[in-house]
Amino acid sequence: MKIKGNIVDIFKKEIYSADIIIDGSKIMDIRRANGGENYILPGLIDAHIHIESSMCTPGAFAAEAVSRGTTAVVSDPHEIANVLGIEGVKFMIEDSRKVPLKFFFGAPSCVPATNFETSGASIGPDETNQLLRMPEIKYLAEMMNFPGVIYGENQVLAKIELAKKHGKPADGHAPGLTGENLKKYVRAGISTDHECISIQEAREKLELGMKILIREGSAARNLDSLKDLLRTNSDMVMLCSDDLHPEMLLQRHIDKLIARLVREGFNLFDIIRSCTLNPAIHYGLEAGLLRPGDPADLVIVDNPREMNVIETWINGKKVYDRGKVLFNYSGTIPANNFNCSEISAESIKIKPSGKYMRIIEAFEGQLVTGEKIETISSNKKFVDADPSEDILKIVVKDRYKDSPPAVGFIKGFGLKEGAMASSVAHDSHNIICVGVNDNDIIPAINEIIRGKGGLALATNGRVDYLPLPVAGIMSDKPVREIAEIYQKLTLLAGEKGCRLQAPFMTLSFMALLVIPELKIGDKGLFDGRKFRFVPLMFD
């Protein structure tokens, strides 16, 4: 089999016309030849992604991702592991085998993410060792418990040592970590970080030998802040999505990040290296890099400035051709883990108990939050949301058993009416809801409880709903069907006053306790700087 085109050769740093000779799953030869209008690149690799955040199964994700030129993903199944444990990881592996896209999974390192919230499962050193033995598991997934590393928690360090024993790298997750504590984190064996939001933070980590994964997802977007690293540290940088919602996957993946960077004048070979060679080397991936003897993983595009994908090839088979996916996928639904009962309005009422109140402050495009202090009126029986000041009520309900909801307040969403809720709430995936009044918050939460997972938007007795029956965090439907309902909910949130570009994605991170400053879990308000619970109200 012969493919003709203009080869983008990241090793010779040259573009030249050639014929690629494919025999079976391998590239046998690349022969310079005249002709060929299109460009041929190595297959694109997303260096860090949670497939679950696309709200679709691995197979459904693959059916859309190949149209973007993606041939491989480094996937952290942390989300489903927090719900179903090691069986959730095995489900992701089994489902991925149904499609040609190459999934390289990690062993989740923080299940539960912290001991300060309720999750559906636990993965200790024994389970971690079992996972790391598997050939499908290429690395120890992001070590979010950086305080545990710094202060030498035995189980945390044991997992890192297991990764070393199996010769597999350990991914990091250290937002804002600097100085001596960062040095301790790196010395323990952590090799990457995808949480940098400033070039200064990234450069400090690079100096210590960490590789930086530049994230451009749906809610957290750091490409603009970090892209200059491609000019100075191209061998230490990778591109990743981290969390990519379904409607975004329809618009772009790594492909359009490449086009954007090329148009901005970055070196094409350095860009392509960051999403092919660099992750392949770091994680030891069986991925093709457009050389004789490599797996025939490649993408044909019109030109690097636009990156319109014409064909995608994986292991010598064409899997996408001019708008058509060339493989079929039929998914399955694993066990769920939804055991709570519906809640009442009384359970989320808050009485004044101090002069001041802590309020979470959410920011567009960021996982980090702020903390604001407001004075509480002393003449009210209950403390309620005040949408005129953009102060909304936020509720987290434990989905795994019947326990009282945790209640707080938040700024930054902008809702003027209604309530939006989700069982996609990193990392334990309890139910999280933001709303302007209890009459909308209760039906939004209870719709998700009845459906055992999903997204909901409630207003004046009406509830719009996206079911997520796969572990309460994914759908068994195709990406386009999920995206259509998801976009409808996003537009409805905007009509209700929400000013965030990705409101449900942002909402899902308000329970992520390991990211500062102030978050809320099912057990209460949590200060991510001090790593402890704090009271909602105080004198």
User: What is the pTM assigned to this prediction?
Assistant: 0.90
Q: What is the pLDDT of residue 331?
A: 79
For residue 332, is pLDDT > 80? no
pLDDT value of residue 471: 94
Greater confidence, 531 or 211?
A: 211
* Mean pLDDT score, 448-477: 95
**Helix (H) or strand (E) run with residue 162 in it:** helix 154-165
Q: How much is the average pLDDT of 386-395?
A: 97
Mean per-residue pLDDT for 445-471?
Answer: 96
Question: What pLDDT shows up at residue 218?
Answer: 75
% of residues, the chain, pLDDT over 70: 100
Q: Residue 173's closest CA among 198, 154, 191?
A: 191
Q: What is the mean pLDDT of residues 306-335?
A: 93
Confidence band of 529 (pLDDT split at 50, 70, 90): confident
- Indicate whether 378 pLDDT > 90: no
Q: Give the chain's mean pLDDT.
A: 95
The pLDDT value recorded for residue 234 is 96
CA distances from 136 to 94, 105, 171, 243, 283 (A): 10, 6, 16, 21, 12
Distance separating alpha carbons of residues 453 and 146, to the nearest angstrom: 30
In this structure, of 74-78, 279-283, 490-494, 528-532, the range with the lowest mean pLDDT score is: 528-532
Beta partners for residue 394, in sequence order: 408, 434
Asked if residues 372 and 429 have their Cβ atoms less than 8 Å apart, the reply is no
Residue 394 per-residue DSSP state: E
CA–CA distances in Å: residue 204 to residues 183, 186, 212, 228, 417: 10, 11, 11, 14, 44
Domain 2-323, classified CATH 3.40.47.40, yes or no? no
pLDDT tens digits, 170-223:
999 998 899 999 999 999 999 999 999 999 999 999 999 999 999 998 777 899
Q: How far apart are CA 508 and CA 448, in angstroms?
A: 14
- Residue 142: is it exposed, middle or buried by C-beta count within 10 angstroms (0-12/13-18/19+)? buried
Cα separations (Å) of 472 from 349, 423, 446?
26, 6, 14
Provide the CB-side half-sphere exposure for 233 (13 A, CA): 22
- Report d(CA 7, CA 9) in Å as an integer: 6
Question: What are the domain boundaries of the chain?
Answer: 2-323, 345-538
pLDDT score of 245: 87
DSSP string, 423-485: S--TTTT-EEEEESSHHHHHHHHHHHHHHTSEEEEEETTEEEEEE--BTTTBBSS-HHHHHHH
Q: In which residue are the tokens 């993983």 written?
A: 297
Predicted confidence at residue 439, as pLDDT, reads 97
Q: Is 261 exposed, middle or buried (0-12, 13-18, 19+ CB in 10 A)?
A: buried
For residue 57, what are the CA distances in angstroms to 40, 88, 313, 421, 451? 29, 11, 21, 21, 18
Specify the residue for token string 């949670």. 50
Q: Classify the C-alpha dihedral 466-467-471-474 as positive or negative.
A: negative
Mean pLDDT of 319-338: 89
For 341, the token pair is 């009962």
Among 56-60, 171-175, 237-241, 514-518, the minimum mean pLDDT is found in 514-518
**Which tokens is 386 given?**
């005040």
Q: What percent of the chain has pLDDT over 90?
A: 88
Q: What pLDDT is recorded for position 220?
A: 78
pLDDT-derived band at 103 (thresholds 50, 70, 90) equals very high
Residue 136 clears pLDDT 80, i.e. is over it? yes
CA gap 530, 528 in Å, rounded: 6
How far is 416 from 535, CA to CA, in rounded Å?
Answer: 26
- Residue 316's pLDDT is 97
pLDDT for residue 366: 80
**Contact (Cβ atoms closer than 8 angstroms) between residue 147 and residue 182:** no
- Asked if 83 and 337 count as a contact pair (C-beta separation under 8 A), the reply is yes
Nearest of 208, 204, 203, 128 to residue 168 by alpha carbon: 128
CA distance 191 to 211: 6
Amino acid symbol at 218 = S
Residue, of 530 and 168, whose pLDDT is higher: 168
